Amino acid sequence: MKKIVLAILAIGIFGAWQTASAADIVGVITLTGTPPAEKEITPMMDNPDCAAMYNGKAPTTHFYVVGPKGEFADVVVSLKGVTGKSTGASTPPAVMDQKGCLYKPQILAVQTGQKITVKNSDTCVHNVHCTPAVAGNEEHNDVQMAGGADLTYSFPQPEMFLRFKCDVHPWMFAWVSVFDSPYFSVSDKDGKFVIKNVPPGKYTVEANHRKAGAQTQDVEVADKDVTVNFIFAVK
Ligand SMILES: [Cu+2]
């Protein structure tokens, strides 16, 4: 009899676990219209260290990273107003590299308390200067020599598009968004994003791009993946 009760209890717990299971919010982001032409970063050619990596042909800016069918990359997607859920302290570090006198990636998202490892893959010196705008997030300004040890940063407060710049190379910028939860994603070159393991509930999904602005959509997550697509127009 005891065994049967235990079995029923186990089934009950399993059932409860199943109904409380999380789902993913997935989607594709599209840009309509023709974005402004990217500009050649010509000042880079005045810097012999950087110019040497490009055979004299300056790379361009990457304000709008868009595929042939409007697939819109570098859009930061998050769940608005979800706070106090950070697992940043136990999440592996996010990595940002300095390569070809540019930050890669240029758009990054992390959790509060999650480490950001900054590498220097170039053969020249860089200077990592982050300039947060939110109180509690500390400014840092560190020289990083070629072949120098990785630098590590983390931020305790949520902040959208926290700026990293290089004082040696004034065209170098990266934008790190910090969230107080693991529920965010940055759209890839196919415009796709995935916010994983979202607990059931009602949410407002926000898609935010440095140049194209922000949009929101309301969704309800139950036990199946939910699709939310965003269409941005060139302003
Ligand atoms: Cu630099």
Pairing of strands 230-233, 23-32: parallel
Query: Over the range 90-111, which residues count as b (16 or more CB within 10 Å of their CB) and which as e?
Result: eeebbebbbeebbbebbbbbbb
Distance 122 CA to ligand 1 centre (A): 9
Query: Rounded to an integer, what is the distance from CA 190 to the centroid of its chain?
Result: 15
| pLDDT tens-place values along the chain, 235 residues long | 455 555 545 544 444 444 458 999 999 999 999 999 999 999 999 999 999 999 889 999 999 999 999 999 999 999 999 999 999 999 999 999 999 999 999 999 999 999 999 999 999 999 999 999 999 999 999 999 999 999 999 999 999 999 999 999 999 999 999 999 999 999 999 999 999 999 999 999 999 999 999 999 999 999 999 999 999 999 7
Distance 94 CA to ligand 1 centre (A): 19
pLDDT for 21: 81
pTM, two decimal places? 0.90
Distance 126 CA to ligand 1 centre (A): 4
Distance 67 CA to ligand 1 centre (A): 28
What are the structure tokens assigned to 164, written together?
A: 């990293």
Alpha-carbon span 74 to 84, nearest angstrom: 25
Is residue 133 left, alpha or beta, with left meaning phi > 0 and alpha meaning psi from -120 to 50? alpha
Distance 214 CA to ligand 1 centre (A): 29
Whole-Å CA distances, 11 to 2, 6, 14, 211: 14, 9, 5, 51
Position of tokens 């934008």? 175
Fill in the amino acid letter for 184: F
